Structure 1
Amino acid sequence: MNTARHRTALALCALWMGACGAAPKAPVPEVPEPAAAPASAPTSAPAQGAEAPTLAAQVHRAAGGERFEEVRVVSFTFAVEQGGERAFEARHTWDRRAGTDRVVWTDRASGVAYDVTLDVAAKTAQGTANGAPLPDPATVAKLAYARWINDTYWLLMPLKVLDPGVQQTDEGTREHDGASYRVLRLAFSGVGLTPGDVYDLLIDPETLQVAWWEMRLQGRADQPTLVSWEGHEAFGPLTLATRHVVAGGARQILLEEVVVQ
């Protein structure tokens, strides 16, 4: 993806649960380069003890996490829009039972069109590049694996909050744009590549769905990045956000053609 428009934020979550074979490493969500968003001020003190795991469990449950093991196939299109124009898209068909993900995308830098089936445990791939057999399957497998990690995370993040290595803190309540939210802070221990990353989930107290996500990234001195989680819809046993708008509104991530079986 064009790095002038997008950057990769390393999300330090633990392994995907339920994928066949060896689970993949930490997700690497891809965020359009945003104008830095100011942090919202907390309006109540953080809670410790059992409160944070309880809130995390509520978020997980609200997204359908208790029924995720029923899911066999997740298919969707991950798309990035910039200034109202489509900048990138990748189509996924993730077969959790088979442990494969078919990924179809065009690399923005090279213009090569890939149609690849990834073995997510072995991290191997087969398929085509511009309609011909892959010239370098190992390199393409790395690209496809990164797409799978990144794109599924933007769709399924609320199902990850209880993963091993994720440290949860209940940060009380916070006012944002005239509404009050419960705040669940995620930090990380022994997982991921940048353990200094911190994520604040702004949670609707009535639906217990994530409404906003404020990211503080290791090595970044600027203000946190605020991204919306909106367009929640039911897909089989799961309830998922389908639109993420970066503060300022010019850039967004869309999850389209979602099918959960």
Structure 2
Amino acid sequence: MEITRFLRERYFFVVVALATSAALSTNTQAAVMDDKAKQIADKTVEVMGGRESYDATRYLTWVFFGRNFHVWDKYTGDVRIESKDGDLVLMNINTKLGKVWKNGKEITDDKVLNDKLEWGYRTWINDSYWLVMPYKLHDDGVTLKYTREDKTADGKPADVLTMTFEDVGVTPDNKYEIFVEKDSHMITQWKYYPKADNTEARFEIPWKNWAYYGDIMLSDDRGKMNLSPVNVYQSLPKSVLTSPASVQNIPGAIL
């Protein structure tokens, strides 16, 4: 198996488990963090443009690892997902209702449709987390602790925050180490641990190429893989999220 395919599949199943656990939680608790972790997390969100600017940003579009093109209406929860495999999903991630096409043909079989909608939901959960994780440090169910001073893989001084999850979903044992560069206050690296008591990381990934998109900053570089092209919009035609017609005018569209 080629290395990029191996990396893509390994990272997908790791992060989708984490993100799905938070999304499916029925026992929501407010984020818990110590004073220093909160100070660092607050500053990070501030330098990225701030939570208010993020909440006010309506549409995000990106391509996950060259495989899935996304259009996400953050106001309504409507999404469009186009895959290299010919799947087109138009659904709402809050209701999990929608329609699916395969190679241009609408799926009408209930079981196949439900399976594809579940795939779309889990794919969106995973792929969006790789884009907007820094804006989710304060999410309910997150525990954030200041761990230590360290250096990134690039040798830059960083504060390390340890992110775990309290009573959320089916994979509450996951742990992440978030590297926040001291000079820029930006997240430029993360490490993943399957269990909170693990001492060896399963993988280490950079967050590079931070840039402004509208009023917020996003990063599209994940080392061997990327999320480009990333774009934000405040308005898009309604048909983008309701019609299977091609949207090749939006950068990154696949079908």
Same fold (TM over 0.5): yes
* Partners of 1:202 and 1:5 in 2: CA distance: 22
Structure 2 match to 1:40: none
**2:200 counterpart of 1:227:** no
- Is the counterpart of residue 62 in structure 1 residue 47 in structure 2? yes
Q: Please provide the CA RMSD for this pair.
A: 2.6
Alpha-carbon separation, structure 1, partners of 2:38 and 2:74 = 27
1:74 corresponding residue in structure 2: 60
Q: Who is 2:84 aligned against? A: 106
Q: How does 1:10-29 map to 2 (within 5 A)?
A: 10-11=17-18, 24-25=23-24
Cα offset for 1:164? 1.2
Query: Judging changes above 3 Å, is the alpha-carbon distance between structure 1 residues 178 and 154 closer, same or farther for their aligned structure 2 residues?
Result: same
Corresponding residue for residue 250 of structure 2: none
Equivalent-residue separation in structure 2 for 1:5 and 1:75 (angstroms): 19
Q: CA deviation at 1:11?
A: 2.3
Report SS of the residue matched to 1:206.
coil
8 Å contact from structure 2 (residues 131, 227) kept in 1: no
Instruction: Mark the CA change 1:154 to 1:260 in structure 2 (over 3 Å): closer, same or farther.
Output: farther
CA contact (8 A) 2:19 2:125 kept: no
| Structure-2 separation of matches of 1:137 and 1:195 | 29
Structure ranking higher in helix proportion:
2
Query: CA 1:14–1:255 in 2, change beyond 3 Å: closer, same or farther?
Result: farther
Please point out which of 62, 70, 75 is paired with 1:92. Answer: 70
Larger strand share, 1 or 2: 1
Instruction: Number of aligned residue pairs: give it.
Output: 214
Distance 1:142 1:152 in 2: 15
| Aligned partners of 1:13 and 1:166 also within 8 Å | no
Matches within 5 A, 1:1-261: 6-7=9-10, 8-9=13-14, 10-11=17-18, 24-25=23-24, 49-64=34-49, 65-79=51-65, 88-107=66-85, 113-134=86-107, 135=109, 136-176=112-152, 177-218=154-195, 223-224=200-201, 225-245=203-223, 251-261=224-234
8 Å CA contact 2:175, 2:196 repeated in 1: no
Tell me by how many angstroms 1:215 deviates.
0.9
TM-score, normalised to structure 2's length?
A: 0.75
Q: C-alpha separation between the residues in 1 aligned to 2:121 and 2:175?
A: 24
| Post-superposition offset of 1:197 | 1.1
Q: 1:12–1:192: 8 Å Cα contact kept in structure 2?
A: no
| Identity among equivalent pairs (%) | 23
